[in-house]
Amino acid sequence: MSDWDSDAKNASPDGEFVRDTSYIEDRIVAGLPAGSAPEQQGDQTFHWPVEEGRYRLMAARACPWAHRTVITRRLLGLENVISLGLAGPTHDWRSWVFDLDPKEKDPATGLHRLREAYDNRFPDYPKGITVPAIVEVESRKVVTNNFPQIPIDFQTQWAEFHREGAPDLYPEELRGKIDKMGAWLFKEVNNGVYRAGFAGSQEAYESAYHRLWDALDWLEDYLGTHRYLVGEHVTLADVYLFPTLVRFDPVYVGHFKASRNRIAQMPNLWNYLKELFALPGFGDTTDFREIKEHYYYTHSDVNPTRIVPVGPDMSPIAEPHDRDRLGGSPFAEGTTLPGPVPAGEEVKNPEPFQEL
């Protein structure tokens, strides 16, 4: 999503942070002829055909909402089917910038700012210029930025392109539970840290703070007897929680004032996080340096000096975990793990303890 500092002003009269959750609700779906034009489904909604090479996932290592789509794409083996464009961690109100690439332009589309893709389809697009976004490469137009739907569609609509042995992250018999858990996580945890960090009054902050920690305490207890959030293996529910947990100690504790304690001080959540971090798709898509640079630099309302802190030392996240005590396994029998990260998609700052 867009995390620039105008978000901090998006508050109700009592100071509570209220996120704009209106997105481009187009979807890329199976069953339409490759090469065909999008089919209109409603006044402003279209379905686009699943097609290898037609689309590019625009993301940023810094953004937790984009991170979940990057993880899902990698776990399912869609790297050679849907390319990946990565914006840099810092930007201004005009939108994310592809300043990690030569000449500060995305190499596949020539876009400098992500806003260009939105304006190419919707001139003077009035809403947030958010990641993740899927862009049609040839037209350089945004297709969708509906972040809750993108991982689900990667699993359900792109199945013909999944790598052999890819996990089922959204098993049909568990979808109701995954959806329910995902909705709760978004409300109480994923967006809960923002509700605390962007609160516009002391009362709103304290309410958000206690609500967030109530949820984290519940997760700590739950993960004491459950290895994963839903079922016996990793599902999309775990993909939804990981980006928030992995950002918590380096950013949310200080920057968003979620300061009761670190995740590293909560044994079940910490070991759960360590297990996920060790899996291909999770730790190898995480860049702590870009995460910290984004939050501490871009949210100038929260951090006017834009000083990025040194630390904390995140190297213990790579140490062994204790989750085997609960039985089960990350993936079902017959599942194979992703291979090496494709050339050019490696995180630029791979060490979890790498300082500025």
Asked if the model's pLDDT at residue 320 lies above 70, the reply is yes
pLDDT per residue as tens digits for the range 194-252: 999 999 999 999 999 999 999 999 999 999 999 999 999 999 999 999 999 999 999 99
Confidence of residue 292 (pLDDT cuts 50, 70, 90): very high
What spatial distance separates the first Cα and last Cα of the chain, rounded to whole Å? 25
- Integer Cα distance of 48 and 256 in angstroms: 38
Residues 297, 90: contact at Cβ < 8 Å? yes
Among 194, 209, 252, 296, the one annotated catalytic:
194
- Integer Cα distance of 152 and 154 in angstroms: 5
Average pLDDT, the chain: 94
Per-domain residue ranges of the chain: 5-161, 174-326
Among 23, 55, 63, 296, the one annotated catalytic:
63
What average pLDDT does this structure show over 75-90?
Answer: 97
Is residue 209 annotated as part of the catalytic site, yes or no? no
Residues 131, 88: contact at Cβ < 8 Å? no
Residue 125 CA, chain-centre distance (Å), reads 23
Q: Vertex 115, ends 109 and 119: CA angle to 5°?
A: 90
pLDDT per residue as tens digits for the range 92-123: 888 999 999 999 999 999 999 999 999 999 99
CATH superfamily of 5-161: Glutaredoxin (3.40.30.10)
* 3-state class (DSSP) for residue 253: helix
Residues 274, 321: contact at Cβ < 8 Å? yes
Give me the phi and psi of 284, to 5 degrees please: -80, 5
Lookup: tokens for 8: 């901090």
Is residue 118 annotated as part of the catalytic site, yes or no? no
Q: What's residue 245's pLDDT?
A: 98
What share of the chain has pLDDT > 70, as a percent? 95
Confidence of residue 12 (pLDDT cuts 50, 70, 90): low
Compute the half-sphere exposure of residue 89: CA atoms within 13 Å on the CB side of its CA: 20
Asked if the model's pLDDT at residue 307 lies above 80, the reply is yes
E-state strands within the chain: 27-29, 39-40, 46-49, 55-60, 83-87, 133-136, 141-144
- Integer Cα distance of 1 and 12 in angstroms: 20
What share of the chain has pLDDT > 90, as a percent? 90
Domain 174-326 has CATH 1.20.1050.10: yes
Q: What's residue 2's pLDDT?
A: 46
**What pTM, to 2 d.p., does this model score?**
0.95
Asked if the model's pLDDT at residue 10 lies above 70, the reply is no
pLDDT per residue as tens digits for the range 144-169: 999 999 999 999 999 999 999 999 99
Return binding residues for glutathione: 96
Residues 277, 283: contact at Cβ < 8 Å? yes
- Integer Cα distance of 300 and 6 in angstroms: 9
What average pLDDT does this structure show over 135-140?
Answer: 98
